[in-house]
């Protein structure tokens, strides 16, 4: 309960205090979303070793690496996982959704993934990316994302590019 809400209730302005209460459903939606994100991170945890080895060889299909599946492809030195919904599309959450980077970092599978990667000497980073509106405002229609923009989360794993360069220099000498 926020300080403002407590103050309003103690002064007898209960009706005004109810405005500042989050809807009951918000916490339930937050928990269901976190449960799904935890499950998705669990699937990353299961395949992370294989994905890292594939990326080190240069065969991980990065959107910016058009050479993937080419024998001359190079490692880009990182993996990116965009959180997906149950349909396999990017999981976009409203700005008003209570899920945050900190709440994701406290899920069981994120903690396990971070520990595993730290033990192996890799770096993990979780980012929240805001999806701004399309930037097109006309006289009849303002940009539809002004007040409530969506956002999504990306996990980036890196730390082997130096290792790949060292191995490459050893093979050249």
- pLDDT one-digit tens code per residue, 111-123: 999 999 999 999 9
What is the model's pLDDT at position 97? Answer: 84
More confident residue, 166 or 84: 84
Share of the chain above pLDDT 90, in %: 44
Q: Please give the mean pLDDT across all residues of the chain.
A: 77
Helices (H) and strands (E) counted in the chain, each on its own, are 6, 4
Contacts of 77 (CB under 8 A, 6+ apart): 158, 160, 161, 164
Q: For the chain, which residues make up each domain, given as ranges? A: 23-172
Q: Which two tokens stand for residue 13?
A: 């302005």
DSSP 8-class letter at 94: E
- Local structure of 25: helix, strand or coil: helix
Instruction: Identify which of 21-35, 93-107, 131-145 has the greatest average pLDDT.
Output: 93-107
What is the model's pLDDT at position 62? Answer: 72
Confidence grade of residue 58 (pLDDT, cut at 50, 70, 90): confident
More confident residue, 146 or 97: 97
Of 93, 89, 86, 81, nearest in space to 131 by CA: 93
Separation CA 75–CA 64 (nearest Å): 12
pLDDT tops 90 at residue 126: yes
């Amino acid at each position: 309960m926020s300080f403002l809400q407590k103050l309003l209730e103690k002064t007898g302005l209960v009706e005004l205090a109810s405005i500042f209460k989050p809807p009951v459903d918000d916490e339930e939606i937050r928990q269901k979303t976190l449960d799904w994100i935890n499950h998705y991170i669990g699937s990353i945890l299961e395949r992370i070793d294989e994905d890292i080895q594939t990326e080190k060889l240069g065969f991980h299909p990065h959107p910016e690496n058009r050479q993937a599946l080419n024998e001359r492809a190079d490692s880009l030195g990182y993996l990116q996982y965009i959180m997906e919904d149950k349909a396999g599309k990017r999981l976009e959450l409203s700005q008003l959704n209570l899920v945050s980077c900190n709440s994701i970092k406290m899920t069981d599978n994120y903690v396990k993934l971070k520990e595993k990667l730290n033990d192996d000497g890799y770096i993990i980073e979780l980012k929240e990316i805001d999806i701004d509106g399309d930037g097109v405002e006309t006289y009849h229609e303002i940009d539809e994302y002004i007040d409530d923009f969506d956002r999504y989360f990306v996990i980036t794993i890196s730390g082997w590019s130096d290792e790949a360069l060292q191995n490459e220099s050893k093979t050249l000498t």
